[in-house]
A and B are shown apart, each in its own frame.
Chain A
Amino acid sequence: MKSLWRFLPVGVFVLLAVFLYLGLGRDAEHIDSPLLEKPLPVFALPDLSDPDRLRTQEDFKGAATLLNVWATWCISCRVEHPFLVRIAREQGVRIVGLNYKDDGTAATTWLQERGDPYAFTIVDADGRLGLDLGVYGAPETYLLDAHGVIRYKHVGVIDERVWVDILQPQWKRWQSPGGQP
């Protein structure tokens, strides 16, 4: 028993080393969203192409959807946009845009010039829905299942690697109306 005590410092060292090692691999930028597994917040906001039409959380029911938060002032969104256009066209992914704290005219021009991957675009001019969603920097993308429940959140640009490795498997998983296949 007495000799076991001698190994205490080694034990402490190993424990510390394990924690530090895990800390190294962690992405400090990644914050788990408290909204995961919760339904989309209640909202009623105008549609970009038809401001008289109000979009609500009900518009997300029926199919798995990516809710992509973007703005024309967001530089990374420029990088991401062509890829969104591609997966919407080639793979039929349903993407809804959330135009976050942006200028409506600039947003419309952007979609005309670069192509429109969105089933529809919600105008969140004062960032209220963004706040309720816990958005802290565009681009951000939420994956919603067919019941409008938030299943995954990705912060940052979606590119080929992110799509194939992370989002596509999740999207396939939540696509069937029953939830998990």
Chain B
Amino acid sequence: MMRSLLLCLVLLAMPSWAVVETRRFSSDLERQRFESLAAELRCPKCQNQNLLDSDAPIARDLRDVLHEQLQDGRTDGEIMQFMTDRYGEFVRYRPDWHGPALLIWVLPALLLLLAVWVAWRQIRRASASSEEDAA
């Protein structure tokens, strides 16, 4: 009995988030937007946490601002712009496709292509030389 009770408690504790706050949302959609935007914004103070995780005062303030702007009916784009205008491209976990950030998006693909090309050359050369050996 005790054991199953403990198990229940452990299971119940799983969905608890690092930061517990009560906020009012006018709809489930608004709540979802709040959570997804807060997860995509990086806390400027505690740098490897997003706004949803962080308990730093600035993260709390920014969550308040985010909530307020959602209630004001601002679009996701407008909110992101508001944040980057003040805290820089730094606060976005997924930077835009322009400027130096473009490199982050394009470089892995380019390197993969390069690797495939090098491998293809090697294989072709190896098979060509083995054919020569056979002949």
What residues of chain A have their CB less than 8 Å away from a CB belonging to chain B? Answer: 28-29, 31-35, 127, 131-137
B126 at the interface (CB under 8 A from A): no
From B45, B58, B87, contact of A34 by CB (8 A): B87
8 Å CB interface, B65-122 against A: 65, 84-90
From B61, B65, B85, B90, contact of A31 by CB (8 A): B90
Instruction: Report the bound CA distance from A133 to B44 in whole Å.
Output: 13
B47 at the interface (CB under 8 A from A): yes
Q: Which residue of B lies closest to A127 (CB)?
A: B61
Pairwise interchain contact A132-B61, C-beta atoms closer than 8 A: no
Pairwise interchain contact B45-A133, C-beta atoms closer than 8 A: no
A-B contact pairs, 27 of them (CB 8 A): A28-B47, A31-B87, A31-B88, A31-B90, A32-B90, A33-B88, A34-B84, A34-B85, A34-B88, A34-B89, A35-B86, A127-B61, A131-B61, A131-B65, A131-B86, A132-B86, A133-B86, A134-B86, A134-B87, A134-B88, A135-B58, A136-B44, A136-B45, A136-B58, A136-B87, A137-B45, A137-B58
Question: Given the interface contacts A136-B44, A136-B45, does A32 sit within 8 Å of B86 by beta carbon?
Answer: no
Q: CB-CB < 8 A to B89: which residues of A?
A: 34
Instruction: Report the bound CA distance from A142 to B86 in whole Å.
Output: 14
Q: Which residue of B lies closest to A12 (CB)?
A: B111
6 more A-B residue pairs beyond the given contacts A31-B44, A127-B61, with a C-beta to C-beta distance below 8 A: A29-B47, A34-B86, A34-B88, A35-B86, A131-B65, A136-B58
What's the nearest-Cβ distance from chain B to residue A1, in Å?
12
Q: Which residue of A lies closest to B87 (CB)?
A: A134
Instruction: Report the bound CA distance from A28 to B46 in whole Å.
Output: 11
B53-66 to A contact mask, C-beta < 8 Å, 1/0 = 00000100100010
Q: CB-CB < 8 A to A134: which residues of B?
A: 44, 86-88
Q: Which residue of B lies closest to A31 (CB)?
A: B90
What's the nearest-Cβ distance from chain A to residue B92, in Å?
12
What's the nearest-Cβ distance from chain A to residue B58, in Å?
5
Q: CB-CB < 8 A to A135: which residues of B?
A: 58
Instruction: Report the bound CA distance from A51 to B98 in whole Å.
Output: 45
Q: Which residue of A lies closest to B121 (CB)?
A: A5
What 8 A-B pairs are tightest by C-beta distance, nearest first? Answer: A136-B44, A134-B86, A34-B88, A136-B58, A136-B45, A134-B87, A31-B90, A137-B45
What's the nearest-Cβ distance from chain A to residue B122, in Å?
10
Instruction: Report the bound CA distance from A172 to B84 in whole Å.
Output: 30
Instruction: Report the bound CA distance from A137 to B87 in whole Å.
Output: 12
